Amino acid sequence: MSDLRARAEEWLGQDPDPRTRAELQAILDADDGAALADRFGARLEFGTAGLRGELGAGPNRMNRVTVMRAAAGLAARLPAGGRVIIGFDARHGSRRFADDTAAVLSGAGLRPEVFADPVPTPVLAHFTRAFADIVAGVMVTASHNPPRDNGYKVYWADGAQIVPPTDAEISAAIDAVGRVDELPLGEGWPVHEGADLYLDAVSSLRLGGDRDVSIVYTPLHGVGRDVLLTAFERAGFPAPTVVPEQAEPDPDFPTVDFPNPEEPGALDLALGLAEARGADLVIANDPDADRCAVAVPGPSGWRTLTGDEVGGLLAEHVLRHTTGGDRLVATTIVSSSLLRSIAAAHRVRFAETLTGFKWIMKAGGAQSSSGGRGGSSPHSEPGSSGGRGGSSPHSSPVRLVFGYEEALGYSVGDDRGVLVNDKDGIGAALAVAALAADAKRDGRTLLDLLDAQARRYGLHATSQLSIRVSDLSLITAAMARLRAEPPRELGGRRVESFDDLARPAGDLPPTDGLRFRLAGGSRVVVRPSGTEPKLKCYLEVVLPVDGDVAAVRARAAADLESLRADVSAALG
């Protein structure tokens, strides 16, 4: 307890924020050992996703001291005099954290530039790779986390999030930072106005010509609305109807329990408005607008599409509107295997990566150059894995035209390559609108297109099982148990192969994950979450379709439930 008090008092002496100083002083005055241990017994770890955590005092919280230390560590890894672009969302503390970052970077001899107002994450990511003198970007956001959280993402000069070993180098530099009240701080950095650079690029995506589609849109109290509406206008689409209760940025997210469009109930207001207006489509962004959710009307009411369903539809739409065998599409090991089949049918290259958009972008060579649309990638045959990314003397130049992950993340492009080297919920929304307008012109819906894909490639049905724990040792024990005694059968299907992804697996870097390949093309992937105390299981069954697609969907749903039950039992 005395050690924790000493750490807390040292922190109190350097904290520039009166609110967190008052919080910490109250804890010290109350001699609250549990609160001190929670805040000072650990620290937020800086990794490839940067920082993310609850707001409050101490190293295990997001606060001005934590942010200034992160900025100083980043500065130590960047070349002197380099330009750094800084964006922020509308969460509690985001603007202050952006200004603190700029002050530290400026004091370290860098040239920071801060957006004047909150911006979507894809705007920042696109800007980062647009100019040769930009060496990094920082986005202050916690994406779709609860209101009490905030976070800090770091982008490299290519506009992609950092990957190892850069994250470990920055983390080590953060550890070497002394007191933040002794850091040299600059002042008077430039302010960047507006999102025109991104808007010019996204509204010029060449992905179809039809525009007749009616859309209800929600930004879920985030920062996507103004940029999305302007992008739709510039691209020639009718203005989407915005859910009025969720239109304005609000860091408290008052109409949703959890500001994530994947969560049950998050889209209820949008679906109700769409039903009342007879809309063709519902589109939702998460609060920083890097994810995109889609819902469509069907025979039994409105249906929210899965990330894998949208990913498959967008992949074919992009490939129909682009040309050349040097195109690359990429997804992660936990997303549907459908994309591999689509790539093979269209005779383009395919890459499978670790979970996280930073790895998808690396498959397209995003971190082997300092800018531009597209990049280079290891040689990959049509329909085959593209490897870990980067370039080599034997690489064939490719254009990453589409990447996606099942968690509603998509990056769309045209013949010039992807627009953003990260998830882009606004570009994806435009592409979905174009796809729906094309289908409407032909007297079809997105559900009809899904059925057509099922007939062509087989039905790829996916689902998840997530287990939240209060003790992380339970996750470690469950993973060890599965490694020691992998099941021979899951969901009535024989386990044909088992990959421990912690060991080198082909072109994939090691990661804490397990993959079970089942008879008939089905599979299960189990991994600990990188951002939450969860064990996540990704389930897929693949069934041939010969006749009634609805009947096959019903069978797939039953098979997924059987698979879910067996995986749950195997995890104990």
Domains of the chain in start order, with CATH, are 40-193 (3.40.120.10), 197-305 (3.40.120.10), 308-423 (3.40.120.10), 458-571 (3.30.310.50)
Task: Classify the phi-psi angles of 198: left when phi > 0, otherwise alpha if psi is within -120 to 50, otherwise beta.
Answer: alpha
Residue 383 has pLDDT above 70, yes or no: no
Q: What local confidence, expressed as pLDDT, does residue 221 receive?
A: 98
Torsion from C-alpha of 65, 66, 68, 70, nearest 10 degrees: 160
Amino acid letter, 516 = F
| Contact residues for 297 (Cβ-Cβ < 8 A; gap 6+) | 274, 275, 279, 280, 303, 445
Q: What local confidence, expressed as pLDDT, does residue 396 receive?
A: 53
Least confident of 100-109, 132-141, 508-517: 508-517
Mean pLDDT across the stretch 502-531? 88
Q: Which position among 94, 106, 143, 380 bears the catalytic label?
A: 143
Taking a C-beta distance cutoff of 8 angstroms, is the pair 155, 134 a contact?
Answer: no
Does residue 507 or residue 424 have the better pLDDT?
Answer: 424
Least confident of 2-6, 80-84, 217-221, 275-279: 2-6
Mean pLDDT across the stretch 346-374? 76
Longest Cα separation, the chain: 72
Taking a C-beta distance cutoff of 8 angstroms, is the pair 413, 399 a contact?
Answer: yes
Which letter does DSSP use for residue 404 in this model? E
Amino acid letter, 484 = A
| Contact residues for 208 (Cβ-Cβ < 8 A; gap 6+) | 317, 321, 434, 435, 437, 438
Q: What local confidence, expressed as pLDDT, does residue 208 receive?
A: 83
- Give the strand pairing for 83-88 and 111-115: parallel
**Strand spans (E) along 47-188:** 51-54, 83-88, 111-115, 134-140, 149-156
Which one, of 96, 99, 87, 91, lies nearest residue 124 by Cα? 87
> Which residues does residue 527 pair with via DSSP β-bridges, in sequence order?
536
Which one, of 373, 88, 123, lies nearest residue 228 by Cα? 123
Residue 301 has pLDDT above 90, yes or no: yes
Q: What local confidence, expressed as pLDDT, does residue 2 receive?
A: 81
Torsion sign (Cα): 507, 513, 518, 523: negative
Mean pLDDT across the stretch 72-98? 98
pLDDT, tens digit, for every residue of 438-448?
999 999 999 99
Q: Cα separation of 423 and 401, whole Å? A: 13
Give the pLDDT band (50/70/90) at residue 505: low
pLDDT, tens digit, for every residue of 554-571?
999 999 999 999 999 998
> Which residues does residue 499 pair with via DSSP β-bridges, in sequence order?
515
Which one, of 423, 474, 459, lies nearest residue 559 by Cα? 459
Percent of the chain with pLDDT over 90: 85
Taking a C-beta distance cutoff of 8 angstroms, is the pair 217, 243 a contact?
Answer: yes
Least confident of 78-87, 182-191, 292-301, 362-371: 362-371
395 assigned to active site = no
Mean pLDDT across the stretch 358-363? 93
Residue 379 has pLDDT above 60, yes or no: no
Which one, of 416, 324, 325, lies nearest residue 373 by Cα? 416
DSSP-derived 3-state class of residue 458: coil
**Strand spans (E) along 183-326:** 191-192, 215-218, 241-242, 281-285, 292-298, 301-304
Q: What local confidence, expressed as pLDDT, does residue 472 receive?
A: 85
Mean pLDDT across the stretch 360-365? 88
Cis upstream peptide for 504 (omega within 30°):
no
pLDDT, tens digit, for every residue of 96-119?
999 999 999 999 999 999 999 999
Q: Cα separation of 224 and 289, whole Å? A: 5
Give the pLDDT band (50/70/90) at residue 154: very high
Helix (H) or strand (E) holding 12: helix 2-14
**Strand spans (E) along 7-164:** 51-54, 83-88, 111-115, 134-140, 149-156
Q: What local confidence, expressed as pLDDT, does residue 468 receive?
A: 86
Q: What local confidence, expressed as pLDDT, does residue 393 receive?
A: 32
Which letter does DSSP use for residue 147 in this model? T
Average pLDDT over all residues of the chain: 92
Q: What local confidence, expressed as pLDDT, does residue 533 receive?
A: 80
Q: Cα separation of 305 and 297, whole Å? A: 11
Q: How many CB atoms lie within 10 A of CB 442?
A: 10
Task: Classify the phi-psi angles of 153: left when phi > 0, otherwise alpha if psi is within -120 to 50, otherwise beta.
Answer: beta
Mean pLDDT across the stretch 477-505? 91
Least confident of 325-334, 389-398, 422-431: 389-398
Residue reference for tokens 């195109």: 327
**Strand spans (E) along 89-133:** 111-115
Q: Cα separation of 412 and 344, whole Å? A: 19
What pTM, to 2 d.p., does this model score? 0.93
pLDDT, tens digit, for every residue of 446-475?
999 999 999 999 999 999 999 888 888 889
Least confident of 241-250, 268-277, 375-384: 375-384
Taking a C-beta distance cutoff of 8 angstroms, is the pair 56, 23 a contact?
Answer: yes
DSSP H stretches of helix in 417-548: 425-441, 446-457, 472-484
Residue reference for tokens 């994947």: 262
DSSP string, 516-550: EEEGGG-EEEEEE-SSSSEEEEEEEEEE--SS-HH
